[in-house]
Amino acid sequence: MQDSVTTSYVRWRLPLLISAVVLILLVPYLLVRQWSNYSTDAHRQVSHTHEVAAAAYALEALIRETDSLGLALGTGSVNTNLRQRLENSIAQIDPQVRRLTELTRDNPEQQVLVGRLQSLILRRVDVARRLSLGTTAAERLDLVDELYGRYQVRQLFDDFLSNEQALLSERQAYAETQRRRVRLLSLAAVLGQLALMGGVIYLLYRMEQRRIASETGLRLASERALAMVQTVREPIVLLDREQRVLMHNAAFAELYADEAGDVRHGPLEDVGHGAWRDTVIRQRLAEVVGRGRELWDFEHVQRTADGVTRTMLLNARRMQLPDRDDDVVLMTVSDISAQKAAQQRIGALNRQLEGKIEQVTEVNRELEAFSYSVSHDLRAPLRHVAGFADKLGRHLGDGLDDKGKHYLDVIGNSARRMSSLIDDLLVYSRLGRNAMKLQAVDMQSLVQETRAVLDANRQADAEEGLAAHRIEWRIAPLPIVVADENMMRQLWLNLLGNAVKYSARREPAVIEVAVEPTPEGGHHFSVRDNGVGFDMEYAGKLFGVFQRLHKASDYPGTGIGLASVRRVVTRHGGRVWAESAPDQGATFHFVLPGQDAISTMESPT
């Protein structure tokens, strides 16, 4: 029973809806159309009245001009221009009269006035012609009297225009009435349409809600997809079978936009100022869409719209769109110019590195040969010199005078100094050649060990009767670092040894060792003494081999210790410098980078 009622309702609802649409839409349309025609006709009549009045004013102006020119010529003027103007005015009067007659053909009363005007106008034209031919004064007075007395047309024009004005008022009132009717009828039609629309919306509400929900979901999905495509920094373009641009993202426009800042949806070869005119590219894209071949990681060098030559990596494949019958090509473009430049640079650096490695290898071989020569070939002569000088002293015994003893002492001291130089050179060479063995190094222990060695040396000097000064050590807590332990031991031995040596004339000597962290995660060490110091003008020579700022007679040494310090710090990726002033002590600084920075330099072996 319920199904029968529903079927019946559905059966009569559609005809009822169609009938309502016809009544609400068609009937008001026909009525509005009819009243619109009435309104248009009224407007046309008003325009016609204005046209008639304008023609009457124009005719009156021609008559006045004809009278004026006739009077001017009647006074005796021989101006040919005036006569020509008179003839032109007379020639225009008759067509204007005919036009006025044609315009008032639907108004018998106005036709009568036009006929009377026409006869008077002809007489006035005749009078104007006679005046222009030249007359006596008496004749001219008679003609003027006829012109403004017997053939007066002013009243006729006033009557004519009054009739037209009255007709205009009637027609304007009629037109206004028609416009009001049209507006009222239009309002009624709109109200009826709104009522119909309300009924339709009510009947289709649930269907409309489902449709809106479905469209909203589709729109949001489309917007999400479009937003993802536009956000991707990789240029993307969609092409049809003729390789015309259908769609592109913002990244593609940034590279290939024209002067207006946009990419025209035309042939691909016209995009980007000729960047895609390569026949090979067009052929490969044609194979993609024609044969279904995919384009993978194809490198193409092109000049983009910004004038920069770039290396692009192209990928393209054929795909089917739901709104098109033919296949399209989706192409992605990746700018690998930086990678290519980096690869070329890496290749060049590798070639340079290979050359440097060969040079370093050759230098190392020479250094090894030099070290072998120094350690074997030079030591033996030095031992002979020192040994035979000692034997010579014992052989001569008491027969050796003071000058001879002085000579033998100089020979022995020079041999011993040469032996120290050889030892220091070998140490300096090994610091540069030996592989670094990175490990956890306790800098506190190394400094204490070095201090113990230096204190033992001072104690030995004191036992031999040499002067030994008192030292006040101020050593701060030191960290554990990742470094080569042997190199760090050599570094502290040289720095602390220098501090002890150059503060020997201070009582007491004060030596401070401090450390503080760096912003990069490394450690900044400093060794300060209150010794003789040096002039900062010569600080650049301080860390060079055999560079000394004091006399060897005052402060013994080989001049290699600070060069070894710089080599150790440099190999650990750090830097070293000094600050001082004459007779005000010196402070030596060195910075070791963090563990990660040191690990990347040389792996432990």
261-293 pLDDT, tens digit per residue, is 677 777 887 787 777 888 888 888 888 888 878
Please state the rounded mean pLDDT for residues 549-553: 51
CA dist 114 and 102 (Å) reads: 10
pLDDT at 10: 47
Task: Indicate the pLDDT class of residue 506, thresholds 50, 70 and 90.
Answer: confident
Q: DSSP string of 466-484?
A: -----EEEEE----EEEEE
Domains 234-335 and 342-432 fall in the same CATH topology: no
Whether omega before 322 lies within 30 degrees of 0, making that bond cis, reads: no
CA dist 451 and 487 (Å) reads: 16
Is 1's pLDDT higher than 50?
A: no
Task: Indicate the pLDDT class of residue 427, thresholds 50, 70 and 90.
Answer: low
Q: Specify the higher pLDDT residue, 560 or 458.
A: 458
Please state the rounded mean pLDDT for residues 291-316: 82
Domain chopping of the chain, boundaries: 2-188, 234-335, 342-432, 434-599
432 contacts 370 by C-beta, under 8 angstroms: no
Q: Which tokens is 578 given?
A: 């000094």
252 contacts 263 by C-beta, under 8 angstroms: yes
72 contacts 81 by C-beta, under 8 angstroms: no
pLDDT at 448: 93
Residue in this structure with the two tokens 């007075």, named with its chain if needed: 141
Listed range (180-189, 446-455, 492-501, 586-595) with the worst mean pLDDT: 180-189
Please state the rounded mean pLDDT for residues 66-80: 69
Amino acid 403 reads K
CA distance from start to end of the chain: 97
Please state the rounded mean pLDDT for residues 43-50: 76
Q: Which tokens is 352 given?
A: 């340079």
493 contacts 565 by C-beta, under 8 angstroms: no
Please state the rounded mean pLDDT for residues 42-56: 76
What fold, for 342-432? Helix Hairpins (1.10.287)
pLDDT at 447: 93
Element (H, E) at 18: helix 2-21
CA dihedral 35, 39, 41, 44 (to 10 degrees): -170
Which CATH code fits 234-335?
3.30.450.20
Q: Residue 315: helix, strand or coil by DSSP?
A: strand
pLDDT at 442: 93
Is 172's pLDDT higher than 50?
A: yes
Q: Which tokens is 554 given?
A: 């005052």
What fold, for 434-599? Heat Shock Protein 90 (3.30.565)
pLDDT at 9: 45
CA dist 439 and 133 (Å) reads: 135
Please state the rounded mean pLDDT for residues 227-248: 81
Of these ranges, 42-51, 81-90, 261-270, 327-336, the one predicted with the greatest mean pLDDT is: 327-336
Is 512's pLDDT higher than 70?
A: yes
Task: Indicate the pLDDT class of residue 260, thresholds 50, 70 and 90.
Answer: low
Q: Specify the higher pLDDT residue, 227 or 39.
A: 227
Q: Specify the higher pLDDT residue, 483 or 550.
A: 483
Is 401's pLDDT higher than 80?
A: no
Please state the rounded mean pLDDT for residues 346-371: 76
DSSP summary character for residue 258: -
Q: Which tokens is 82 given?
A: 């005036």
Is-above-0.85 flag for pTM? no
Of these ranges, 371-375, 431-435, 436-440, the one predicted with the greatest mean pLDDT is: 436-440
Task: Indicate the pLDDT class of residue 604, thresholds 50, 70 and 90.
Answer: very low
pLDDT-above-70 percentage for the chain: 72
Q: Which of 590, 573, 597 is nearest to 527 (CA)?
A: 590
546 contacts 558 by C-beta, under 8 angstroms: yes
Q: Specify the higher pLDDT residue, 112 or 9.
A: 112
Strands (E), 211-277: 236-239, 245-248
Task: Indicate the pLDDT class of residue 378, thresholds 50, 70 and 90.
Answer: low
Please state the rounded mean pLDDT for residues 105-112: 77
pLDDT at 118: 74
Is 321's pLDDT higher than 70?
A: yes
Is 100's pLDDT higher than 70?
A: yes
Is 346's pLDDT higher than 70?
A: yes
pLDDT at 240: 85
Element (H, E) at 2: helix 2-21
62 contacts 97 by C-beta, under 8 angstroms: no
Strands (E), 380-451: 438-442
Is 16's pLDDT higher than 50?
A: yes
Q: Specify the higher pLDDT residue, 54 or 178.
A: 54
| Other Cβ atoms within 10 Å of 34 Cβ, number | 13
pLDDT at 492: 92
Task: Indicate the pLDDT class of residue 527, thresholds 50, 70 and 90.
Answer: very high
